[in-house]
Structure 1
Amino acid sequence: MANDTYKFTGDPNSHDISKFKDGISATCLCGSIRVTINDNELFTKKRGHLCHCANCRKVAGSYVSSNLAIEKEKVNVDDPSGVLKKYKDYATASGKCVERCFCGTCGNPIMSIAEIYPTMVIVKMGMFPRIPDPECESFALHRHVWQGKHGDLPQFEIARGGKKLGE
């Protein structure tokens, strides 16, 4: 029984990456919203980032959030029942609005839309069967002291592309 339960909970290693050569699709927990990322480079290079900012941690319900900042035109959000909700978050490092989008039925985080990145969306990767290898960590100054390092990922003190931790 335990082995069946493990399969049910979504072992990412049971999903061959070759199935996602043109993109990847997933639903929220209740299945009301489907998100499809149309990108043939998701698993050919490191993509996305692990964010340790307080707001991303809250949205993820964890010590870190796995995010993928990607061009809007590569993401399709199918919400046939109109349950997608948005929270306007102004308590951000930039002071600019970040719309935190989530399923109004099950609460699953879907994506963030940051005013400072008008051509991008930040997809919350926890709902997908596989997550690309991240390219970096942001808000590394906000990591918990008990966290181990995630391989050799570049760690930015705050924003991606900014000052690196330890510089």
Structure 2
Amino acid sequence: MHHGSCLCGDVRYEFEHIEGDYVICHCRSCRKASGSIGGINVAVARDDFLVDDPNQRLTTYESSPGKRRYFCSRCGSPLFTQVGQGGDYVRVRLGSLDTDVTQQPAAHIFMSHRAPWDEPDAHYPQWDEWPDFNQVDIRGATRSKS
């Protein structure tokens, strides 16, 4: 079982399995949302994702049509996103997990959008935009294999 939380600990979540691959996204939107090089999110089946928010701190922002970003209203920690109403997956911010994940990223994506100071590890495949979905299984994203 995986557990995660926001910085202040008011919002907690848990899930059992990561679904598919995950990537490191270097697009401008992910950079803005994270305040860092980009987004590193894992897909979790919506039905497997449980949120504990006793103080009702979880809030949301629609960053683009149909894409909602969830974060703690007290400490501001970004926690997960969901694309579309009732989508099959949520995309959990890997940095908000309290448990270890041993799965490695499948690729760097949106390299054509990266900041000039961002020099990612060339160990993983790199794509200028979206990856070839026959090679990388991203679930629950704005554009994905499933």
Higher relative contact order (CA 8 A, sep 6+): 2
**Aligned residue identity for 1:100:** R
Answering whether residue 110 of structure 2 is matched by residue 139 of structure 1, we say: yes
1:36-115 equivalences under 5 Å are: 36-39=14-17, 42=18, 47-90=21-64, 96-115=65-84
How far has the Cα of 1:70 moved from its partner? 2.5
CA contact (8 A) 2:62 2:69 kept: yes
Asked whether the 8 Å contact 2:28–2:114 carries over to 1, the reply is no
Q: Which residue pairs with 1:19 in the alignment?
A: none
- Give the gaps of 5 or more residues in structure 1: 1-22, 91-95
- Secondary structure at the counterpart of residue 30 of structure 2: helix
Check conservation: 2:71, 2:78, Cα contact below 8 A. yes
Q: CA deviation at 1:116?
A: 8.8
**Larger CA Rg, structure 1 vs 2:** 1
Identity %: 28
Question: Please, which moves more after superposition, 122-131 or 100-109?
Answer: 122-131
Which structure shows the bigger proportion of residues in helix conformation?
A: 1
Q: Structure 1 counterpart of 2:108, which letter?
A: E
Q: 1:32 aligns to what?
A: 10
Give the secondary-structure state (helix, strand or coil) at the position aligned to 2:112.
Answer: helix
What count of residue pairs does the alignment treat as equivalent?
132
Runs of 4+ in structure 1 over 6 Å off: none
TM-score of the pair, normalised by structure 1: 0.68
After superposition, the CA RMSD in angstroms is 2.5
Structure 2 unaligned blocks of 5 or more: 136-146
